[in-house]
Amino acid sequence: MPKISDKGRMMPESPIRKLVPYAEKAKKAGRKVYHLNIGQPDIATPKSMIDAMHNLNVPVIEYSHSAGIISYREKLCQYYKKHGIEVTPDDIIVTAGASEAILFAVQTCLNPGDEIIIPEPFYANYNGFATSAGVKVKPIISKIETGFALPPISEFEKAIGPNTKAIMVCNPNNPTGYLYSAEELEVLRQIVIKYDLFLFADEVYREFCYDGTVHHSVMNLEGIENNVVLFDSVSKRYSACGVRIGCMVSRNKEVMATAMKFAQARLSPPSLGQIASEAAMETPDSYFVEVIEEYRKRRDTVVEMMNKMEGVMCPNPKGAFYVTARLPIDNADKFCQWLLEDFNHDNQTVMLAPATGFYSTPGAGMNEVRISYVLNVENLKKSMECIEVALKEYPGRTI
């Protein structure tokens, strides 16, 4: 029997989805499972997107330009201008979600064997993208005691070696919800200039900032215009994860021309998704005002209830819709599986994402979990009650 590739064996399993069979079994047994494991919002997709798909009147659904429909890219430029980012349609390649954008950028800018520095915990699939491109992730740990703030510049410099080619950040962060300040981005700018590195930034949660905080984009860092590559997506912004439309943005002409070759190789991004995403540009600001206020209530519910539990540490994040919490447990993977296999509170349980999958350092995150506060407040309260009871009953409790 033929053997699969070494790269295939090295591909990491998703910490977000690997427990799905256990959740399905729990549901078949009649238990209610609260899904806090995945960033799938329950917020309604804007009506403009739904209407654009219902009212589509074309005889043939054609390929689009490999860089994406020009009218959509022009509207994206208008969107970015509203956020203080000046780009042209030629600076944008539309992709099948931000995932494809990251794959294009990693393959465009790094060679197999090159290294990319990423503060951890980080979005688990960054490991998979790096593996796909034969690139090595060099993690530097952000600590829960600081709310997962950017590590000091000295930690970056310790990690930089002859094969270091790029730094990657997610802002606001998935899985921690941490929002980087202008001062922290300035630290990154200095490192990028000093070592002539690429700076990749995943800013898909740009809209979701709380408590009067402001999002600062890497696209506005002066002096590194040719070093910066931005990743974006409509998935979370418009609660349209299944549309699978994102984009790669850079003012570096050589980077974009090279990425276009990868874009051409996959022909084009989804045409229907682009039509829906272009229609989303008409979404009024009031939509975001209401959505952000709803997420703030959800965040406050989770953080307040988690921090009242004995032995739990849960930072109060300023962005996205995730928290990463430390629990009094021996092993997050075992705990999350136990919740689905053995735990039952009033015929209910909770599905969480073990934080081990969001670290690249072996053994890190063993007592941490990511919680996506994508359910309504009432269900979040029931979820938190389940977690509180579970922590008292779990055999591997550490206090």
Q: What is the CATH number of the domain that holds 81?
A: 3.40.640.10
Contacts of 335 (CB under 8 A, 6+ apart): 327, 329, 352, 354, 369, 390, 394, 396
In one-letter notation, the amino acid at residue 126 is Y
pLDDT of residue 12: 85
Exposure b/e, 187-213, CB count within 10 A at least 16 = b = bbbebbeeeebbbbbbbbbbbbbbeee
Query: Does the pLDDT of residue 13 top 90, yes or no?
Result: no
- Same-domain status, 149 and 256: yes
Q: How far is CA 348 from the centre of its chain?
A: 28
Residue 326 in domain: yes
In one-letter notation, the amino acid at residue 196 is D
- Same-domain status, 96 and 173: yes
Q: 280, 307, 322 — which closes off a domain?
A: 280
361-372: pLDDT as tens digits: 999 999 999 999
Residue 339 in domain: yes
- Same-domain status, 39 and 55: no
Question: What's the CATH code of the domain at 310?
Answer: 3.90.1150.10
**Domain assignment of residue 384, given as a range:** 6-44+286-393
What value does the mean pLDDT take over residues 278-296?
A: 95
Cβ neighbours of 346 (radius 10 Å):
11
Mean pLDDT of the chain: 96
Maximum C-alpha span of the chain: 65
194-245: pLDDT as tens digits: 999 999 999 999 999 999 999 999 999 999 999 999 999 999 999 999 999 9
- Same-domain status, 247 and 312: no
- Same-domain status, 64 and 139: yes
Domain count, the chain: 2
Residue 249 in domain: yes
| 346 φψ region: left (φ > 0), alpha (ψ -120 to 50), beta (else) | left
What value does the mean pLDDT take over residues 86-99?
A: 98
What's the CA angle centered on 331, arms 326 and 334, to 5 degrees? 120
Paired tokens of 10? 């090295």
Q: pTM value?
A: 0.95
Q: 280, 312, 347 — which closes off a domain?
A: 280
Query: Does the pLDDT of residue 17 top 80, yes or no?
Result: no
**Dihedral of CA 182/188/192/198: which sign?**
negative
- Same-domain status, 60 and 74: yes
Residue 399 in domain: no
- Same-domain status, 216 and 75: yes
Residue linked to tokens 């999958």: 357
**CA–CA distance from 341 to each of 249, 274, 300, 328 (Å)?**
44, 41, 29, 19
- Same-domain status, 251 and 347: no
- Same-domain status, 64 and 28: no
pLDDT of residue 397: 96
51-84: pLDDT as tens digits: 999 999 999 999 999 999 999 999 999 999 999 9
Phi, psi (rounded to 5 degrees) for 157:
-70, -30
Residue 119 in domain: yes
- Same-domain status, 256 and 290: no
Residue 1 in domain: no
- Same-domain status, 13 and 153: no
Closest CA to 252 of 93, 61, 371: 93
Bond into 121 cis (ω within 30): yes
Residue 330 in domain: yes
- Same-domain status, 226 and 372: no
Closest CA to 53 of 246, 281, 272, 236: 272
Residue linked to tokens 């053997």: 3
